[in-house]
Structure 1
Amino acid sequence: MEYQRTDEFNWDYPKPFTLAVSPSGGDIDGLNHTNNAVYVRWCETIGWAHSAVLGLSLADYGRLDRAMAIRRGEYDYLLPSVLGDELLLGTWLTGSDGKITMERRFQLIRLRDQSTVLRGRWDLVCIEMSTGRPRRMPTEFSVVYLPAIVEKIHPDS
């Protein structure tokens, strides 16, 4: 399922990179809603897809011996989703110190009522893959990621 128009939703940030998702039988937990770990997996999937579309893939990370690693993940589970719900997950790069850190945000919208189900945030740090130590972002990262950073649509909310 593809959604060409995302401007009809109440996104926190402009022009999200989106992924249509829907919980399947294996995604439902004992409370009869989507397990929280599934949302985390969807965020990882869209994060990698967005990075690749911007121009940096996992292969590029390996070639450069650098990666943007999650230092902290934060998820606000606002409403449940259930088997078969049609959902649209959006992501954005929303901040960077221009040297070592970046921030990525997520918003998951349930299409039947256009309600936000989840908001998430990752604090990312650039690391040298071979050692795991923090390192300055290579030029390739700055050229690709920094121009993609967006500002919140409603700064006071």
Structure 2
Amino acid sequence: MKLSIPDANTLWNSLAPARRHKQTLTVGAQHLDEMDHVNNTVYLVWCEAVARAHAERLGMGTGVLRALGAVPVARQHVITYHRPALLGDVVRVRTTLTVHAGLRSVRAYTIDRLNANDPPQDGVRLAECQTEWVWVDPVSGRPKRAPAEVIARFGFGPAAQSVG
């Protein structure tokens, strides 16, 4: 079942910089499986890595979030694969924070190939992912609302336009 929210590509230009992040990488031998394409689980690793990099860029890495008393844990991942990534492919992973409501936040991701012969702006879509995160107390593990400072830093508030 796919979460019914817009994908990262649809929202990319309309969201404040605090709500989006991207990374580019090159597929290496360590990413491949016995079929000589990127293993399905690697896409999820890439999504989590870009989410962590996003949080770090905003000064909201795991250590800071723990100190503030709320950390996100994954509740559900939905990945749609369109085409395989192969050794040497240049891949862009983008994430946007699309929803924050109460105890939950949702990230959407797009994974695109950006090789020399691909369309220059959009590339070729390899996969899309959506992750529903639940905020929890890092000590008890019980659900807990994210502090207002965290929500504002991630672009869900009046200060959203100033964080970049």
* TM-score, normalised by the number of residues in structure 2: 0.79
- Length, aligned pairs only: 139
Identical columns (%): 25
Alignment of 1:7-156 (within 5 A): 11-15=9-13, 16-97=20-101, 99-112=102-115, 113=118, 114-145=123-154, 146-147=156-157
Q: How much has 1:42 moved relative to structure 2?
A: 0.8
Moved more, 119-128 or 52-61: 52-61
Q: What's the Cα RMSD here? A: 1.8
CA distance in 2, matches of 1:82, 1:50: 25
- Give structure 1 stretches of 5+ with no counterpart: 1-9, 149-157
Task: Summarize deviations over 1:84-124 as a string: whole Å, max 9, x none.
Answer: 00111111000111x21111010011112211101000101
- Give structure 2 stretches of 5+ with no counterpart: 1-7, 14-19
Q: How much has 1:65 moved relative to structure 2?
A: 2.5
CA distance in 1, matches of 2:109, 2:100: 16
**Matching residue's letter, 1:142:** I
CA distance in 2, matches of 1:87, 1:12: 18
CA distance in 2, matches of 1:81, 1:105: 19
CA distance in 2, matches of 1:75, 1:12: 16
SS in 1 for 2:9: coil
CA distance in 2, matches of 1:86, 1:143: 33
CA distance in 2, matches of 1:54, 1:122: 19
Structure with more of its chain in helix, by fraction = 2
Q: How much has 1:26 moved relative to structure 2?
A: 1.5
Task: Summarize deviations over 1:22-74 as a string: whole Å, max 9, x none.
Answer: 21112111111001111111111100111121231111112123101111111
CA distance in 2, matches of 1:21, 1:108: 11
* TM-score, normalised by the number of residues in structure 1: 0.82
